[in-house]
Amino acid sequence: MRPTVSQLRAWSPERLRTSASELIEIDRQIEVLGDDAGRSVDAVREFWQGQASSAAAVLWSGISLSSSRLSIAVRVVADLYGGAANTIGVAQKSVLDLVEEATLEHGLTVSDSGAVSAPAPKQPWNVVDVMQDSENATAAQIFQQKISTALTLLDDQDNRAATALGEAFREIGSLLGSQPDSLGRTVVDILDGRSTLPGTPAELHRLWETLSPGEKDALARWDPSIGSLDGLPALDRDYYNRRYLTVLERLPDRTVAAGYAAVHGELRPDTFLLSVTDGHAVVAVGNPDAADNVATLVPGTGSGLSGVGGDLQRTKAMYDAAVGTVPTEATSVILWSGYDSPPGIPDAASDLYANSAARRLDSFQNGLRASHDGPPSHNVVIGHSYGSTVVGAATTRGASLDVDELVFVASPGVDAERVNELSLDRVDAAEVARHVHSTTAYWDPVQLIPKILGIHGFDPSDPEFGAQVFTGSPGEPGFGVHSDYWESGNPALTELGRIITGP
């Protein structure tokens, strides 16, 4: 049954997002308690051996597996809440915008059921009144059709969400009282080496969505780093990566382990660990699968696990700026330290690091599209310093990114002479210039690299390059200005927030 207009006004998609976040946080708290209980069971076995001890360990293993599967099911519900907030929220806004346009701009009356009527004919009639009455009647018919179509679409989205949630809750019910699912042939073949996981994010996502919680767990035991694969939902990536992170923190190489520990120390209830492997980490502030706006920061020279705290501060600053710009929309900003960055300034003269990173960045962006719930999000990639050179490598010489906007911050060059050499999947070549933005502070010495050395092409902040150039605080002479773009009160940060949230 289609909702009424008054019911729609009372709906709160934002509450669904809040509920999703609350479920995730509760799940994480339960996870901590389960880990503590597991350590206690293991500790007992150090001084209690024998048949009873072994039986207790086996029993706990089964309980732990069931708990893990239940956790996945709960996160599916959270993901569905987030997705419903997007799809239903968009459909709700479409109906209410039509109602507002019909009543305020055209003087029509919209009933609670969505029926549209024109004002009563005026008396006595004259030619002007007859023409106006005719226009009103025509407008009423048009809005009646538009509102009816929009209400039908919204009702369909609501029913889809209800069906999906029903299946998710039935899954939870079965987990609370049934044995673990048997593994399907597809998963068994992968585990036995007769097959492999799909090679593209879109294909992997399609397979993943068909798997039961038990099958996902089986694949995670087979490959503990599976959460770092592009195409998996953000909730599942975070779930498996946080568990894998506890293993990485215990690596014998203390320097490497300390880097992973630094990542662990930065995780919060509103952050999602999208990748943690090979000395790299990708962390999102806000769930990208449920966001209207998704931005990815590519950091520059010297970035890595040990410096994740500073990079996440910049990420959070952009998140706050975007939310402050459009507080009614859900936003996610991601720190993508998913590549081997140049370790020092002399190394940054080479394109090798950027070229090797380009394909990884492309795959990551394709994965964001594959796992996103609801209508396509507004996606932005922001390259800082050498990170902009990485973005350039991913959008030139036949390469392209599936994003809506590019932003270059303090760029030493993007291996292009003009903006029309860059390519975006969803933007016509003639329109690319409108979707590429760049800024460099007046005192930032990085601008000397393309002007004097010219090793990475033209300066994208030079008006001749053709990008949309925006300005920020000029800074002070020295190298400190190179990181000032995210300081509170810098106009550049405000502009970054505006670009992230779209036109």
* The pLDDT value given to residue 172: 65
At residue 179, the pLDDT reads: 46
Other CB atoms within 10 A of residue 259 CB: 22
Residue 367 has pLDDT above 90, yes or no: yes
Question: At residue 178, does pLDDT exceed 50?
Answer: no
pLDDT band at 197 (very low <50, low <70, confident <90, very high): very high
The token pair that represents 391 in the structure block: 């973005």
Pair 132, 147: CB distance under 8 Å: no
Position 54 scores a pLDDT of: 56
For residue 197, the 8-state DSSP code is -
Q: What is the DSSP string of 328-346?
A: TS-EEEEEEE-S---SSTG
The Cα–Cα gap between 181 and 187 comes to: 12
User: 61 or 240: which carries more pLDDT confidence?
Assistant: 240
How many beta carbons lie within 10 A of that of residue 454, not counting itself?
A: 11
Confidence bin at 70 (pLDDT 50/70/90)? low
How many CB atoms lie under 10 A from the CB of residue 464? 10
Residue 206 has pLDDT above 70, yes or no: yes
Cα torsion for 178, 179, 185, 186, to the nearest 10°? 70
pLDDT of residue 80: 73
How far is it, in rounded angstroms, from Cα 289 to Cα 331?
10
Lowest mean pLDDT among 35-44, 299-308, 321-330: 35-44
The encoded tokens of residue 305 equal 């696990």
Mean pLDDT across 481-491: 93
For 396-406, write each residue's pLDDT tens digit: 999 999 999 99
- Average pLDDT over the chain reads 85
- Identify the weakest region by mean pLDDT among 113-117, 122-126, 214-218, 226-230: 122-126
- Is the per-residue pLDDT at 18 higher than 50? yes
Q: Higher confidence at residue 304 or residue 464?
A: 464
pLDDT above 90 coverage of the chain, percent: 46
Contact 222, 191 (CB under 8 A): yes
Task: List the structure tokens of 210.
Answer: 């068909």
Range from 40-44, 364-368, 481-485 carrying the lowest mean pLDDT: 40-44
pLDDT, tens digit (0-9, with 9 covering 90-100), for 119-172: 877 665 666 666 676 787 888 888 888 888 888 887 777 777 777 666 766 666
Residue showing tokens 């080479």: 350
Residue 415 above 50 pLDDT?
A: yes
Percent pLDDT > 70 in the chain is 86
DSSP 106: T
> Highest-confidence range of 220-224, 287-291, 481-485, by mean pLDDT?
287-291
CB 64 within 8 A of CB 57: no
pLDDT (mean) for 312-321: 96
- Counting Cβ atoms within 10 Å, is residue 184 exposed (0-12), middle (13-18) or buried (19+)? middle
pLDDT of residue 82: 75
For residues 436-454, average pLDDT: 88
- Please state the rounded mean pLDDT for residues 477-497: 92
Residue 310's pLDDT band (cuts 50, 70, 90): very high
When comparing pLDDT for 231 and 152, which is higher?
Answer: 231
DSSP for 263-308 reads HHHH--TTEEEEEEETTEEEEEES-GGG-SEEEEEE--TT-SGGGH
Mean pLDDT of 107-121: 81
Q: For 283-292, what is each residue's pLDDT tens digit?
A: 999 999 999 9
Tokens coding 251:
């690596």
In the block, which residue shows the tokens 């990173």? 357
Closest C-alpha among 117, 370, 114, 143 to residue 236: 370
The closest alpha carbon to 370, from 496, 198, 485, 254, belongs to 198
Average pLDDT over residues 292-303: 94
- What secondary structure letter does DSSP report for 110? E
How far is 98 from 114, CA to CA, in rounded Å? 10
